[in-house]
Amino acid sequence: MDDREIRAAMHAAFTEQYGSDEGTVMFFAPGRVNLIGEHTDYNGGHVFPCALTRGTYALVRQREDRTIRYYSLNQKTSGFITKELDQITAYNADDQWTNYPNAAVYAFEKHGHHIKTGYDAVIAGNIPVGSGLSSSASLLVLTGSVLRAFNQLDDVTNQELALLARFAEQKYIGLNCGIMDQFAIAMGKKDHAIFLDTADLSYKYVPVVLDDASLIIMNTNKPRELQESKYNDRVQECTQALHDLQKVCNITSLGELSSVQFEELKDAITDETCRKRAKHAVYENERTLLAAEALQHGELEEFGKLMNASHVSLRDDYEVSGIELDTLAETAWTVPGVIGARMTGAGFGGCGVALVRNDAVETFLHTVQKAYVDTVGYEASFFRAEIADGPIVIDEAA
């Protein structure tokens, strides 16, 4: 569904669920795609994501009491979910998907931003849940921007929204994630990628000028499975590698090491798996620096090579790809006119991203889809990525 169709469906659902849609406000927060710099953000390295025109919408009306009511067009079977603000104390399986908006409330309260009243909300999104395009961070930042607007918390900046959303994800949901997704979403800028140093949150916007090429997102459509534990394992393995390295050098994160330094010191990491994970983190950080440079100078071929190398490293050293993502990326590499292709996001399914010359897009789609169906047994889906701003309030009168 496109933007207008989604919003029309949300108004209809709001009226049906809550009687009338009078006094509602429409909020939007984007999803994100990471161009390169994967699994570097919790290692103090660099990332290079951008916000997408696809994301999550909330049609909301403030209430006078402390009740929150939710209905999602994407989770219709969950029906209507109600919660009292004062009951939001910890993750609760019964709350299903509304644990995310509740987590945002929790983060605000924990940081002294008092939430005074509840609201009625209809939520809808056009990024598939679990697709690696950060539907969860999108929902967290979206809720944060609703809470900010309804509670006169104008001093909460977008950067702080990102930090609150990460806190929510880590402390309420239980994923030890980095800051990339929340930052990319809260700080998005149309037609720009964000070159972010996760060690100190310094960042630079780099224009994404692709001339005769497009960024295509490739969704594996792999059924979502619980990935949190595998993700947390990788975080733990990197922590272990860092711990070993700290016995021989003075660093606070893997992101501080160059690949040359890593090669000199790597034997200090006793466990072979942890050594491979650290190798990825260090080399991927270097690739991200080079890729941001390359894009800035319009060197798309160089950028594409770095994307491909990133995938190989995520496949072989970090071991977070899998048959679905490998089939997408590796088939894409064989198509003339494909500049680069890789998995994006946490991995284990989800999406890939390819940089493709416009005159090769048709062949690319056909070739990759065919190989995917032959290998995996069901279809992948594809769409052109358009790069958007961060969270907004939509002026529906316009």
Active site members: 181
Complex with ligand GLA: residue 132 or 304, whichever CB lies closer: 132
From the CB of 391, what's the least distance to ligand GLA, in Å? 17
With binding defined as CB under 6 A, does residue 38 bind ligand GLA? yes
Minimum separation from the CB atom of position 198 to ligand GLA (A) = 9
CB of 136 to ligand GLA, least distance (A): 8
Which of 35, 81, 180, 196 contacts ligand GLA by CB under 6 A?
Answer: 180
The correct pick among 21, 95, 120, 181 for binding ligand GLA (CB under 6 A) is: 181
Under 8 Å CB-to-CB from 301, ≥6 apart: which residues? 339
Report the residue number, 98 or 310, with the smaller CB distance to ligand GLA. 310
List, in sequence order, the alpha helices (H) in the chain: 3-18, 99-110, 135-150, 158-167, 180-186, 228-245, 259-265, 272-296, 300-316, 323-333, 361-376
284 scored as a contact of ligand GLA (CB under 6 A):
no
Shortest CB 319 distance to ligand GLA, Å: 13
Check the CA dihedral 217-220-221-227 and report its sign. negative
Select 281 or 339, whichever has its Cβ closest to ligand GLA.
Answer: 281
Q: Compute the distance between CA of residue 115 and CA of residue 188 in angstroms, rounded to an integer.
A: 25
Stretch touching ligand GLA by CB under 6 A, among 39-47, 212-220, 249-257, 275-283: 39-47
Q: Which stretch binds ligand GLA (CB under 6 A): 4-12, 175-183, 259-267, 322-330?
A: 175-183
Which residues, numbered 306-365, are part of the site for ligand GLA (CB under 6 A)?
345-346
Q: Does 185 bind ligand GLA (CB under 6 A)?
A: no
d(Cα 238, Cα 222) in Å, to the nearest integer?
26
Alpha-carbon span 394 to 59, nearest angstrom: 10
Closest distance of CB 68 from ligand GLA, Å: 25
Of 118 and 350, CB closest to ligand GLA: 350
> CA-to-CA distance for 135 and 31, rounded, in angstroms?
6
How far apart CA 373 and CA 382 sit, in angstroms, is 13
Q: At what angle do helices 99-110 and 135-150 cross, to 10 degrees?
A: 50
Q: Which residues contact 360 (CB under 8 A, 6 or more apart)?
A: 335, 336, 337, 338
The reply to whether 59 sits near ligand GLA by the rule CB under 6 A is no
- Rounded to whole angstroms, how far apart are CA atoms 343 and 325? 6
Interface pick for ligand GLA out of 41, 95, 197, 244 (rule CB under 6 A): 41
* Least CB distance to ligand GLA at residue 181 (A): 5
Distance from C-alpha of 85 to C-alpha of 106, rounded to nearest angstrom? 9
What residue has token string 């104390």? 89
d(CA 84, CA 306): 49
Integer-rounded Cα radius of gyration of the chain: 21
DSSP string, 68-123: EEEEETT-GGG-EEEEEGGG-SS--GGGGGGHHHHHHHHHHHHTT------EEEEE
Of 121, 177, 254, 257, the one binding ligand GLA (CB under 6 A) is 177
**3-class SS at 385?**
coil
Smallest gap from Cβ 211 to ligand GLA, in A, equals 27
Q: 118 or 125: whose CB is closer to ligand GLA? A: 125
Q: With CB under 6 A as the contact rule, which of the stretches 113-121, 172-180, 217-225, 293-301 interacts with ligand GLA? A: 172-180
Query: Binding string, 126-155, against ligand GLA, x = CB under 6 A?
Result: ------------------------------
Q: Is 39 in the site for ligand GLA (CB under 6 A)?
A: yes
> How many residues of this chain bind ligand GLA (CB under 6 A)?
10
Residue numbers at the binding site for ligand GLA (CB under 6 A): 38-39, 41-42, 177-178, 180-181, 345-346
